[in-house]
Structure 1
């Protein structure tokens, strides 16, 4: 499948371009000296690739130049003639003003002009856009890209300047969303794309399940994480609610009165009795402590005793008085230490009495309320109180049932997460096995592409290159193209724009060559193919491109004349007149692709 012709309904503004089977050159000549040092010249060599893409039914985008400058292009109608696998041709008609109305005409001869063809002369006229894409996909019959349609990998056949940043990830794929393009590249290289797509699907479902599980855990608030516990609580609450409901239905509160009486007698009264006994015991201890503190006072005074002894005529002085003073001092030291302990114990006892007293007051009030319930003569007051209790119970039951539902869903999600994780791991193992099998088989499609890729880079740069595929830690495929040094190690040369562009060109050509035996595109468009290369590499690359053209491919290259390879030794032009399908120049509007002022 190759390009045959591109033309418009305004040949004075956009002239017809007849493509040939082999090498096609779009040459931009910079004739004005003042323009030679400019980086851009706006002659249209890059725009040509966009017009071809438009003929291949690219989606309508307001940023696309035809729509962005609607005032200039709204009256244009473009015709793209394509050679089909059976050597017949189809012409795709697409206007700018009605960009979603597409027409088709199949024919046997090439290089036709259907600008004057009536509506009845078209096989399909004004088809809706999506229907037209399906029609073109059927006509092209690119079985080599199935199960995708013809648009999926068209970027590898139409490499603009923005598409040389990465060998594998085209600008149109955007950043991220690897699942949208990695399976396709894997398929081009001969790997099992279905395994990759399944792996991405499992990963998405796993991530979604984990996100929902985290949301449910946050909803539960970490309060309960056990279904059996919730079930038990529900059973108890439900039984209690059932009893109260029966009570209300019967309008009989004898059982309720009995339960309240039992609660008063067995619970509150028993507790009050216990607390009173404790308070009595503590009060007795406090009384004993007070007595001990009073008894610990030393009432004997040696000075007073000496005065009494003198009055009686008895000697009480000297060593006798001194021994009494020492004895009293000793006893006072012991007494002071003991008093400290007694004071601490008294404080503890009083604190306990205070706590008990507070609880007794609370229990007393509760006892009074319950006795009031028993002595109430208004049955409706009892009915209201039981109803209030039942409402609280039902609220608790609803909350528990909601928690149970959430927790059951969370458990189901956890089971699903475990299953998905196991399935993802199994798929990763299959992907790894597939990569190993294809990489190790010298007759595989991947091995052929890898060999052609390396040969192209080596012929141009004298360095080998390695095309590799491996499985990353997430289980997805990674594609890598590297330039190797003499020792066979990867160098940083591929990080530069020049080498990166060369790797892109080598990849595109290698893929096309490896698919020559399939229904697959045969053309490739490379914009600015020789930019930044030295003369020797330019000559080597041109030789490779011509070699691939001889194999049956249709390379379409654009270049500025200053970037052309050097003349041959015999002085002949680099390109023959037949190879140059478009010549652009900077001497006025006539030299541009669109012969009008620059926009």
Structure 2
């Protein structure tokens, strides 16, 4: 597929007729850095990228060219005539105002003008964005183009298009373009074009996406339900216990045997609770008496023995002398009494502690029994059967709610368990795909060998250095595509890292793909805006000469834009190579932006 012609219903638009091979869009201005009032995009050579993309059915959004300037093009209609790979032609009609509608017509000769054609379209006003059962414009165009490269589910004619249509802002990376949001959007495609099975890589990305989704799901469930799969059997046991309790209450309600319940409670109150309370009250009374007696004994301990100095004072008052032998014997008695008193005191203290603890225990039991007695008396005093029934119903509601909550937790926990099983399965599948990718990389790949040869040949003819195109696994066991430039001694250099070198690497890669698949039904054109800017004059001349040779040899149409200051004096263009000259007052759209 090649570009043949672009035109509009507006006469101020500068019609462009493309030739078969090298095409130059020439901006007749000086370097834009020194000519502030003549910005390049005002001429339209950069905007031509957006126009071609638009006519190949890129959706209009507020942040892209025709979205931002929609009011300026409100009544404009554009036409793109393309040459199909079978030699026939096809024209696409699309307006800015009703940009979701597209008309398509096939024809046998080029350089047609269908601006006045109203009804004789093969496909009239088919939609880009459609409802479920409507004909889709992109699907229709994809079928008409009839590519047999990337002709499999997941790809269409637009898949490789971002590499073919580049503005001056699109040369920062050879492979990873800003048009792609993630590696999964472009790496499987490049892998496929380089002769590998891209489906393997595509499936791995899909599984990794699923894996990330499942991991986030587990995290979300853990946060929301506060449960983990390790609690499954505990939750089951709780549910079983609560369901058993619920069943017993329901059975009671079904029998409606409130008389038996009251009778059971009466017997228990009479035979058990009140007798037990009475018994404990007696025990508490006896303990209180014992504690008081022990406490009194402790308080009076040692007070009955007369001290020796008090005895001597008493004898002196009656005029008698206390014999020394008696004093000695009395002191012995005092010592013996003191020893006995100490042992008795320890015994009394232990007894006091034991009795106090026993009394406290009895008081605790009395509290619980009196509370239970009060609860039972409350039930006995409820004479209204409906009130009793309602109490059971409330209990059923409470238990049912608790069971429901635990069942939801069980579902969450079982869901986590299943998800973890799914994650294990996904990881196993990913491991198998990693092995397949390694096998792919190690197999003999004629496609890759030939594309590398073309890639190296283009770069070497322009820059005289050898470049390597490397396909290798990365740390995540996906694929990296890199380029490395070698010096004349075949050592790695940084020459491929500069902006100029990256530009030629971008062009070399696209040309390599177009050349290798030139005998297939695939794109046979590219338009690279400002590709030669910042190059040395020698490299510019070498590249243009290479383009002339390769375009004719492989039937490729390669278009570039140049401004006057980019063209070295030694570079002379052949007749017909400059297909459109733009300048101040002669802009592509007949106006500036």
The TM-score normalised by the length of structure 1 is: 0.82
1:20 equivalent in alignment to 2:6:
no
Give 3-state SS (helix, strand or coil) of 2:46's partner: helix
Aligned equivalent of 1:469: 471
Aligned equivalents of 1:468, 1:435: Cα separation in 2: 11
Single out whichever of 202-211 and 484-493 deviates more from structure 2: 484-493
Q: Is residue 78–residue 95 contact of structure 1 (8 Å, CA) maintained in 2?
A: yes
- Which residue in the other structure is 1:560 paired with? 563
Asked if 1:433 corresponds to 2:428, the answer is no
Greater Cα offset, 61-70 or 240-249: 61-70
Q: Corresponding residue for 1:205?
A: 210
Deviates more, 1:240-249 or 1:255-264: 255-264
Stretch of structure 1 that moved more, 266-275 or 67-76: 266-275
User: Deviation per CA, 1:240-275, whole angstroms, max 9, x where unpaired?
Assistant: 333332322333235434654686689867986997
SS in 1 for 2:205: helix
2:582 to 575, 581, 584: 584
Aligned to 2:58: 58
Give the Cα separation in 1 of the matches to 2:489 and 2:282.
96
Are residues 188 and 259 of structure 1, via their aligned partners in 2, closer, same or farther at CA, if it must alter by over 3 Å?
farther
State the alpha-carbon separation in 2 of the partners of residues 411 and 483 from structure 1. Answer: 51
Instruction: Find the counterpart in structure 2 of residue 364 from structure 1.
Output: 370
Change (3 A) 1:153 1:34: closer
Q: Distance in 2 between matches of 1:73 and 1:272?
A: 99
Partner in structure 1 of residue 171 of structure 2:
164
Correspondence for 1:570? none
Q: Which runs of 5+ in 1 are unaligned?
A: 568-572
> C-alpha separation between the residues in 1 aligned to 2:38 and 2:366?
96
Q: 1:593 aligns with which of 583, 588, 591?
A: 588
Equivalent pair of 1:119/1:125 in contact (CA under 8 Å):
no
C-alpha distance 396-35 of structure 1, shift in aligned 2 (>3 A): closer
The offset of 1:512, in angstroms, is 1.3
Shift of 1:401: 3.1
Decide whether aligned partners of structure 1 residues 494 and 244 sit closer, same or farther in structure 2, where only a CA change above 3 A counts: same
Displacement of 1:360 after TM fit?
1.9
Residue of structure 2 in register with 1:479 after alignment = 481
Secondary structure class of the residue paired with 2:169: helix
Mapping 1:38-437, distance limit 5 Å: 40-41=39-40, 42-66=42-66, 68-116=68-116, 118-129=117-128, 131-147=136-152, 148-173=155-180, 176-222=181-227, 225-257=230-262, 260=265, 288=294, 291-292=297-298, 294-295=300-301, 299=305, 301-308=307-314, 312-314=320-322, 350=356, 353-354=359-360, 356-371=362-377, 373=379, 379-437=385-443
For 2:506, what is the secondary structure of its paired residue?
Answer: helix
Q: What whole-Å deviation, never above 9, does each CA across 1:41-68 have from its counterpart, x for those lacking one?
A: 3222212222222222222234444454
Choose 411-420 or 149-158, whichever is displaced more.
Answer: 411-420
State the Cα distance separating 1:338 from its structure 2 match. 11
Native 8 Å contact 2:147 2:521 kept in 1: yes
Tell me, in whole angstroms, the C-alpha distance in 1 between the residues paired with 2:142 and 2:471: 29
Contact kept? 1:306, 1:316, Cα under 8 Å: no
Q: Which moved more, 1:238-247 or 1:307-316?
A: 307-316
RMSD across aligned C-alpha pairs, in angstroms? 4.0
In the alignment, what sits opposite 1:459? 461
Q: Relative to structure 1, is the Cα distance of residues 217 and 298 closer, same or farther in structure 2, using a 3 angstrom cutoff?
A: farther
Q: Structure 1 residues 547, 234: CA separation in 2 closer, same or farther (over 3 Å shift)?
A: same
Q: Equivalent residue of 1:367, what SS?
A: helix
Cα 1:83/1:289, change in 2 over 3 Å: same
Deviation at 1:527, TM superposition (A): 1.0
Residue 37 of structure 1: how far off its partner (Å): 7.2
User: 1:491-502 counterparts in 2 under 5 A?
Assistant: 491-502=493-504
1:494 Cα deviation from its structure 2 partner:
4.2
Q: 1:224 to 1:396 in 2, by over 3 A?
A: farther
Question: In the superposition, relative to structure 1, how do residues 234 and 68 fare at CA in structure 2: closer, same or farther (>3 Å)?
Answer: closer
| Number of corresponding residues | 577
Hey, what's the Cα distance between the residues in 1 that align with 2:208 and 2:32?
Answer: 58
**Secondary structure in 1 matching 2:58:** coil
In 2, Cα distance between the equivalents of 1:338 and 1:477? 92
Gaps of 5+ in 2: 130-135
User: Alignment partner of 1:506: what SS?
Assistant: helix
